[in-house]
Every structure is written in structure tokens, then in C-alpha cells.
């Protein structure tokens, strides 16, 4: 029997209730006792919390770790910020289900091989993918959604046409099968191919595969700017039609798009909830987004997948009209308007153009001796499926206007990041940033409420009945931190610096990280719905 007691802690149990001084007894990876008078006895090991705050391990409900986790299963950047559970398969793209003839297209789209990494791709069904994950020495607990874009890719490739009835039924069957094999639900990425080609009617039908088990539908909407109200309504309608819970992911509400946008969007959501539609929201705590450079290109360009894009951009005759179309497009002009022009787009870690890592697009264009649109197209061409950037498109007030709502839980929209990589700082700092900046410093909500939004709220949303609370019988996933100093510790220039104030992290009662370093313990497991 393995047993230890944590004493002298400020117990923040994840419910949102006020913290109190007390202790926790852990036995064989499970919380056995929590209270004000918990004390060691009979030679049981004691961990003195030193008046630190003890909370349930943080749950990242929106992770893009999928394609890197098999190669770096320890999840260092996750554990060091207190994350003990992640849920992948976001924004419409999951590694499964996949058929052999589509593997290359999915690999190219995700930028796996181009990034210098290589997956074995020795699975096809969603269940086989989860079994593959179970073979890994996981540092954190892992669950996954099915990506609607991946399902469409399986059945139709990158075709832009409407699916036939047989194709619709096949997609719905794949979703239902994935649910039976352990998926938590379905995600869509409607700003990205191939999901960008899906109609609302198609989404409503395919999401019907969630009905039997009431899986959760999460949507990265088609438009996160001036047409957000219509897109929120469309997301809600998927839940209304199929009687399933839905979530609007990384909600944005720019006042520049519409005065009072946040209040308007939450009004739509509250009316739907009053009607009986179960709808919630997640958000990351930053003014900058991160996505592929390809996402700024017109819809028609994506039909041939990454290979088609490379062929197009390699042809000067075809590339010039594309350049002119992009430069005049609403998407490009809006991006320039909200993001301080090309200076507001910063290139990430790109294998084909390493000399431009961390540079803004204006500087890159100047170096190339061309304009911003052509520079962007050249970066896309040279990186062939691995072309992420950071987009500064929001104000601090925009972030706060969403964050204050109690329906909002925390999701990083990040993934696995190695030390020294140039990524969005959300990969390494999301959860400490919420607690340090928005709870403690700005007092948008209490520290206890901040913890609730990253523990019991996502656990309840996902049906994780043994996680998210410090209660007897719950899994001993825990984080000990200093509420007075906790902070993200990184920025856009040094994005992988570890956070401040995280003392210790336990997964299943085993010490996984301590004072900024991982231990040798790997207690994470695969979670099934």
C-alpha cells in the first residue's frame, strides 16, 4: 500500500468554495481523506505544503497535443504549469479515424513529417488510436474527441462538394463508432479544410452520431469576428437538433467588430440555455491567436490539400491572381485592420524558413523584397504544411469581457512544446496566467473561481466523475502552488520559459513534477468517455 499525507495546505477543492487550511490523505493513487484535521500516523510519509494552495490538477479541455504526444509523451510543458489531464482532437482534426489512402494527406495537413517528426501511423480506427496511446509512458491523463474534418477527409478527401447521402451516413457512422470506442464527442474546425466545406445541415446530420451516448460537440466557428452571432447560433442549433451538449471554443468578442459583442453573444447563449440547450464556452487568456498561415487563403485553394497548395504556389502564372484575390479579400483586410497590419503577424517555428522564426510579416516581406501577401505565400510554399504563426488581433479588454462570464472554462489551444521552441506562450503559461493575472492581480474573479474553471467545470463537462475535485474517492491528481506568486513566467519572445509559483504536481498520487523539474514518474493514463 502506498500512502502519504499533505499537511499545512490551503485547500482549494475545485468547487469554487472558499479555501481552508487542512490536509489531504492519499492512498494508492486515490484521495482517501480531506479536511481540517488530517494528520499523518503510523509512519506514513508527510508532505508539508508550507501554506501553499493545494488544488485538483488542472484539466486542459482544448489541447492540440495529438501529433506530438506519441514522440514526447512526458508532457513537460503541461505538468510544469499544473496540467494533469488534456483532451485532444480539437478544431476538427484528430489522428483517427483514418484510412490508409488518406494518411499522407492528414500527415501533410498536420505538418508532421515536414516538422522533422515521423509517426508510425499504425492505426486506423479511433479505438486503435487510443490503444496506441495506452502503449506510451504518459506524463498526463489523455482523452480525445473525434475531428469532423478528419472524418470528412476519410470519406471525401479535401473535396469541396456537398456529400452524397451515402457519404453523410458513412461520416455519421464513423462518429458513432468512435463514441463507442471512447471518444468524448465531436469537434469541428470550420475555418479550416476540409471542415470549411461543410454546410450547417451536414454538421447537424453528422453530429447525430453523438446522440446515443450524448457526446459533446465543440466548434471552432466559421467566423470569430463580425459574424460571430450567426456562428454561435449555428453551433447551438447542432445541440438543439440532436439534443446534445455543445461548446463554443476559444470564444472571441472583439468590440471593434461590434460594440457590446461579448454581452450580445452571451445573451444568445443564455437564451439557448433557458430553452434547454446545454451550451458552454472555453477561452485562452491572450490577445493573440495562433493558426496556420494557410488559413488566410481562399476556400477554393485548399481543395487539393497541401499538395495542391504547393503545386499552385509553385506556378507563377497561377500564383499572381491568387495574390491579388487574397490582397482584396475580406479575411485579409480584417486581419490587417485588427492586427496592426503585417506587423501583427509573427512567424512561428517553421522548418523551411528558420531564418524568419519570431519575425513579423512586415520584416519578412522587407527581407524578401516583396509585399506582405507574397511573402506569406512564399512562407507557405517553403514550409509545405508546417506554417503556424501568431496573430495579434484582440485587445486586453476583449479578453476580459469574455473571461468574466462563469460559463467560461479554460482551454489552452496549445499542445506539446519543447524548451527553446518558438510557439505561442499559451503552450506553457495558460493556467498560471489565469490564476496570477486575472484572478489575483485584476480580480476578475476569486482564486477559488479560477481553479473551478480549470478543474470541476471541465471535469463535469467531460463526464470525468473521478477528477476535478479534492474529495474522498477522487483520483489524486493535484497541484500545489503559491497563490501570491503564481504567474505564467513567459512571453512572446521567450514562450517556453516555465511558469512561476508551481511547487509540486501529482498524477494518480505520484509526484510528477517538483519545483520546475519533472520526476521519473509517468502515471498518466488514457481516458475513455
Calpha distance 38→482 (Å, rounded): 21
Task: Give me the pLDDT at residue 18, please.
Answer: 98
Task: Give me the pLDDT at residue 485, please.
Answer: 98
Nearest to 57 by CA among 82, 22, 33: 82
Mean pLDDT per 10-residue segment, the chain (529 residues): 92 98 97 94 91 98 96 97 98 96 92 80 97 98 98 96 98 98 98 95 98 97 91 97 97 90 96 98 96 91 91 95 93 84 92 93 96 95 90 94 97 95 96 98 98 98 98 98 97 95 98 97 97
Cell of residue 376, nine digits: 506569406
Tell me the sheet residues that pair with 526.
Answer: 142
Cell of residue 224, nine digits: 470569430
Cα angle: 48, vertex 50, 52; to 5 degrees? 110
Fold of the domain built from segment(s) 58-288+394-416+448-463: TIM Barrel (3.20.20)
Cα angle: 286, vertex 290, 296; to 5 degrees? 135
Task: Give me the pLDDT at residue 256, please.
Answer: 86
Calpha distance 510→489 (Å, rounded): 25
Task: Give me the pLDDT at residue 260, please.
Answer: 94
Q: How many other C-beta atoms are found inside a 10 Å radius of the C-beta of residue 4? A: 17
Calpha distance 23→52 (Å, rounded): 11
- In Å, what is the CA distance from 156 to each residue of 53, 96, 126? 50, 15, 18
Considering the chain, tell me which residue range(s) the CATH 3.20.20.140 domain(s) occupy: 58-288+394-416+448-463
Task: Give me the pLDDT at residue 1, please.
Answer: 63
Q: Do the beta carbons of residue 27 and residue 2 sit within 8 Å?
A: yes
Cα angle: 253, vertex 258, 259; to 5 degrees? 95
Amino acid at each position: 500500500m502506498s500512502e502519504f499525507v499533505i499537511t499545512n495546505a490551503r485547500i482549494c477543492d475545485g468547487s469554487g468554495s472558499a479555501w481552508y487550511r487542512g490536509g489531504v490523505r492519499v492512498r494508492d493513487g486515490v484521495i482517501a481523506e480531506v479536511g481540517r484535521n488530517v494528520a499523518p500516523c503510523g509512519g506514513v510519509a508527510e508532505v508539508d505544503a508550507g501554506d501553499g494552495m493545494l488544488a485538483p490538477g488542472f484539466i486542459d479541455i482544448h489541447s492540440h497535443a495529438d501529433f506530438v504526444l506519441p514522440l514526447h509523451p512526458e508532457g513537460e510543458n503541461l505538468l510544469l504549469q499544473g496540467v494533469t489531464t488534456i483532451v485532444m482532437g480539437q478544431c476538427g482534426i484528430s489522428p483517427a479515424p483514418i484510412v490508409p489512402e488518406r494518411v499522407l494527406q492528414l500527415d501533410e495537413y498536420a505538418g508532421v513529417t515536414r516538422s522533422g517528426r515521423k509517426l508510425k501511423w499504425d492505426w486506423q480506427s479511433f479505438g486503435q488510436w487510443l490503444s496506441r496511446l495506452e502503449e506510451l509512458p504518459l506524463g498526463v491523463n489523455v482523452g480525445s474527441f473525434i475531428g469532423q474534418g478528419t472524418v470528412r477527409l476519410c470519406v471525401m478527401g479535401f473535396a469541396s462538394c456537398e456529400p452524397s447521402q451515402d457519404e453523410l451516413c458513412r461520416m455519421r457512422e464513423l462518429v458513432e463508432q468512435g463514441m463507442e470506442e471512447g471518444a468524448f464527442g465531436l469537434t469541428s474546425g470550420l475555418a479550416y479544410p476540409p471542415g470549411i466545406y461543410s454546410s450547417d445541415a451536414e454538421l447537424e446530420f453528422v453530429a447525430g452520431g453523438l446522440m446515443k451516448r450524448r457526446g459533446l460537440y465543440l466548434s471552432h466557428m466559421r467566423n470569430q469576428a463580425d459574424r460571430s452571432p450567426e456562428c454561435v447560433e449555428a453551433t447551438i442549433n447542432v445541440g438543439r437538433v440532436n439534443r446534445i451538449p455543445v461548446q463554443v471554443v476559444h470564444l472571441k468578442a472583439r468590440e471593434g467588430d461590434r460594440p457590446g459583442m461579448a454581452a450580445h453573444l452571451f445573451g444568445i447563449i443564455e437564451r439557448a440555455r433557458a430553452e434547454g440547450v446545454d451550451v458552454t464556452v472555453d477561452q485562452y487568456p491572450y490577445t493573440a491567436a495562433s493558426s496556420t498561415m494557410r488559413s488566410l487563403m481562399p476556400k477554393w485553394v485548399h481543395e487539393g490539400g497541401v499538395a495542391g497548395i504547393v503545386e499552385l504556389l509553385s506556378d507563377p502564372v497561377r500564383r499572381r491572381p491568387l495574390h491579388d484575390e487574397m490582397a482584396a479579400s475580406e479575411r485579409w483586410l480584417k486581419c490587417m485592420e485588427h492586427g496592426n497590419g503585417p506587423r501583427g503577424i509573427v512567424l512561428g517555428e517553421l522548418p523551411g524558413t528558420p531564418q524568419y522564426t519570431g519575425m513579423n510579416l512586415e520584416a519578412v516581406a522587407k527581407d524578401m523584397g516583396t509585399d506582405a501577401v507574397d511573402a506569406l505565400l512564399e512562407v507557405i510554399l517553403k514550409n509545405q504544411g508546417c506554417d503556424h504563426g501568431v496573430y495579434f488581433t484582440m485587445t486586453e479588454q476583449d479578453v476580459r469581457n469574455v473571461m468574466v462570464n462563469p460559463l467560461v472554462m479554460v482551454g489552452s489551444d496549445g499542445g506539446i512544446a519543447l524548451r527553446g521552441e518558438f510557439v505561442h506562450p499559451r503552450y506553457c503559461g495558460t493556467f498560471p496566467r489565469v490564476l496570477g493575472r486575472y484572478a489575483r492581480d485584476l480580480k476578475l474573479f476569486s482564486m477559488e473561481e479560477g481553479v473551478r474553471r480549470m478543474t470541476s467545470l471541465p471535469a463535469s463537462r467531460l463526464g470525468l466523475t473521478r477528477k476535478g475535485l479534492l474529495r474522498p474517492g477522487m483520483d489524486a491528481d493535484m497541484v500545489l502552488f503559491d497563490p501570491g506568486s503564481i504567474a505564467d513566467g513567459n512571453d512572446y519572445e521567450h514562450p517556453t520559459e516555465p511558469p512561476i509559483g508551481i511547487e509540486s504536481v501529482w498524477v494518480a498520487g505520484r509526484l510528477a513534477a517538483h519545483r520546475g523539474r519533472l520526476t521519473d514518474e509517468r502515471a498518466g493514463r488514457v481516458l475513455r468517455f
